[in-house]
Amino acid sequence: MSKRPISDYNEFQKIIGQAQNIVALTGAGVSAESGIPVFRGAGGLWRTHRATDLATPTAFKANPALVWEFYHYRREVAFSCQPNNAHKALAKYEKLCKEQGRQFWVITQNVDGLHKRAGSENILELHGCLEKVICTKCRHIDVNRESPICEALRGRGDPAKADETLPIIPLNELPKCSKCKGLVRPYIVWFGENLDPDVLDKSRDLVETCDLCLVIGTSSVVYPAAMFAPMVAERGKPVAEFNLNEDPFDDGFCFHFSGPCGTTLPKALGVDLQ
């Protein structure tokens, strides 16, 4: 392999065809092609709020109604979007690997659930999922795809308007636990919180034992995912990066494919989505 990542689809297909344990690390760039907004970065505003300021336990404690409006908006967007060809290609390749006795896992930073909807089964969601809620009292976790999640949030959360003419939603009208009726919050790992240790341990195990790593639609700046691909490269195993950037994140990676993931990934994996 050359030291500088190459963009050779034929060479990549030889490598992936021989790989027995493959890990795909995915980020916001995958879902952006489905219309999911990217809130990280300078332009990551919802109304006048920085989205990162709302994604904290402190913000939820101070104003749970506001945080729920933000996440209600995110849920509605995610539920209305469809998996794109990148999601579909990963799901189809996982199925192929299963038939061939090989292992294929997706470790995602995304919370939109589009990998699952595309048909992927081996998924680890590092930061949680918008279709789940967790009770702030009894800690019960529920899958909830109701739209709206509660009647008080119907029509709320539009980032184009501040809903200043509407009253603040009372605490007792916000989403409730199906078991104890306590207040629930989005099942999302917020800033200042630790990742689920079971998910993190499983992710590390996969990264430490894989013989090929795909880095898809992520800038590789969010930890701990940012350290995963370099760990694979340091073991001398091939890493392939797929993103819009012309320049690779790490010259230690073997492959770099620039362009929309929905275009480059199906071609690289050699899957027919027709």
Q: Where are the alpha helices (DSSP H) in the chain?
A: 9-18, 28-32, 51-54, 57-62, 64-80, 85-99, 114-118, 197-209, 225-234, 261-269
Check the annotation: does 223 bind a ligand: no
Check the annotation: does 177 bind a ligand: yes
Identify the active-site residue in 72, 115, 127, 256.
Answer: 127
Residues 6+ apart with CB under 8 A from 43: none
Check the annotation: does 150 bind a ligand: no
Check the annotation: does 195 bind a ligand: no
Check the annotation: does 245 bind a ligand: yes
Check the annotation: does 217 bind a ligand: yes
241 — phi, psi (to 5°)? -110, 135
Q: Using CA atoms, how far apart are residues 146 and 132, in angstroms rounded to an integer? A: 10
Distance of alpha carbon 135 from its chain centroid, rounded? 22
Check the annotation: does 112 bind a ligand: yes
Other CB atoms within a 10 A radius of the CB of residue 46 amount to 19
**Cβ atoms of 11 and 95 closer than 8 Å:** no
Check the annotation: does 218 bind a ligand: yes
Query: Which two three-digit tokens encode residue 229?
Result: 């691909």
Q: Could you confirm whether 127 is annotated as catalytic?
A: yes
Check the annotation: does 85 bind a ligand: no
Check the annotation: does 111 bind a ligand: yes
Give the active site residues. Answer: 127
For the annotated binding site for Zn(2+), the residues are 135, 138, 177, 180
> Residues within the annotated binding site for NAD(+)?
109-112, 217-219, 243-245, 261
Which amino acids are annotated as binding site, given as ranges?
A: 71, 74, 109-112, 135, 138, 177, 180, 217-219, 243-245, 261
